[in-house]
Structure 1
Amino acid sequence: MFEHTVDPAVENVRAALLAAGMPDTVVLVDDKVATAATAAAVLGCDVGAIANSLIFECGGEPLLILASGAAKVDVKLVARKHGLPKITRATPEFVLEHAGQPVGGVAPLGHPRPIRALLDTELAQYPVLWAGAGSHQAMLSISYDDLARVSGAVPTSVR
């Protein structure tokens, strides 16, 4: 049997869900689910129902884009639509500093400080979404409306 150790980042996500009035829907899996494709395969869902929590750097600040696993985010479009400075890929160190979680395991909540967030409107078509929960082996399930509420994300087109 696979033994899961208590991960402080995952516990922060659990606490943030409960603090937002949500149930603890975090599940731990034996295999790493650091990509949308592997998460969808392990969870038995459409890759589009994976809500990737992508941290970008925007004017020196973090920007969280919650994008469908089936989407390739068009950062130029997003910047133009929202009047943002250039959006660039964040380094793993930048992500860990601002999210408190590793690339591939970033959750939509449970960060040390609030992060400006945008939510891919394509995710609204799925009744149940799956998002990272703070580690490469933790995922949480949530509805689109609850994801928007707990993340404070602004719904937008990302492609």
Structure 2
Amino acid sequence: MNPLLNKEPVRRAEKAIKAFNSNLEIICLEKTARTAQDAATALGCNVGAIVKSLLFKTEDNFILCLVSGDKRCSLNKLKNIFNFKDVSMAHPDEVKKITGYTIGGVSPVGHLNKLKIYIDNNLERFTTIFAAAGHPNCVFKIDFKQLTVLTDGEKKDITE
């Protein structure tokens, strides 16, 4: 068994994923999938099929945006859609504290704190998508509809 599967953040992500669908598997990559491009190269898929889990800080809260690997999350769209005055990328320390994951391994599920999740509708272009599973070398494969149900995420046009 791959030692990465014993790491607490990976176990936490796997528990949430398996509770949803016992057929979903964690894939351990030899090379890092810290960036969407790294993950796409390692998996041999389109970079757009990689789910980037991005934590944003708002005036009084944090939100998680799941964005297609070939897109950029739009701060202006987030501000307009949700009527936020201020939105910024969360600091790496905040990401670790709020989600329990380090940047590059932030899973869409299994967070330490309850988060409102928004999903980039561009991810619907792909039959299969891949999301981080608690470590930069661990991902899981899922389809868009399942990801929406798994995360209780809300579909939005949040990219530029």
What letter matches 2:29 in structure 1? V
TM-score scaled by length of structure 1? 0.94
Distance in 2, matches of 1:51 and 1:13, equals 15
Would you say the 8 A contact 1:50–1:129 is kept in 2? Answer: yes
Would you say the 8 A contact 1:53–1:106 is kept in 2? Answer: yes
Distance in 1, matches of 2:36 and 2:82, equals 26
Would you say the 8 A contact 1:25–1:142 is kept in 2? Answer: no
* Gaps in structure 2 of 5+ consecutive residues: none
Q: How many residues align?
A: 158
What letter matches 1:99 in structure 2? T
Distance in 2, matches of 1:109 and 1:3, equals 21
Would you say the 8 A contact 1:121–1:157 is kept in 2? Answer: yes
What letter matches 2:50 in structure 1? I
1:141 corresponds to which residue? Answer: 141
Would you say the 8 A contact 2:49–2:68 is kept in 1? Answer: yes
Would you say the 8 A contact 2:24–2:142 is kept in 1? Answer: no
Secondary structure (helix, strand or coil) at the match of 1:133 reads: strand
CA RMSD of aligned residues (A): 1.5
Map 1:1-159 onto structure 2 (within 5 A).
Answer: 4-5=3-4, 6-158=6-158, 159=160
Distance in 2, matches of 1:22 and 1:48, equals 26
User: How high is the sequence identity, in percent, across the aligned residues?
Assistant: 24
* Gaps in structure 1 of 5+ consecutive residues: none
TM-score scaled by length of structure 2? 0.93
Distance in 1, matches of 2:84 and 2:25, equals 33
Deviates more, 1:46-55 or 1:110-119: 110-119
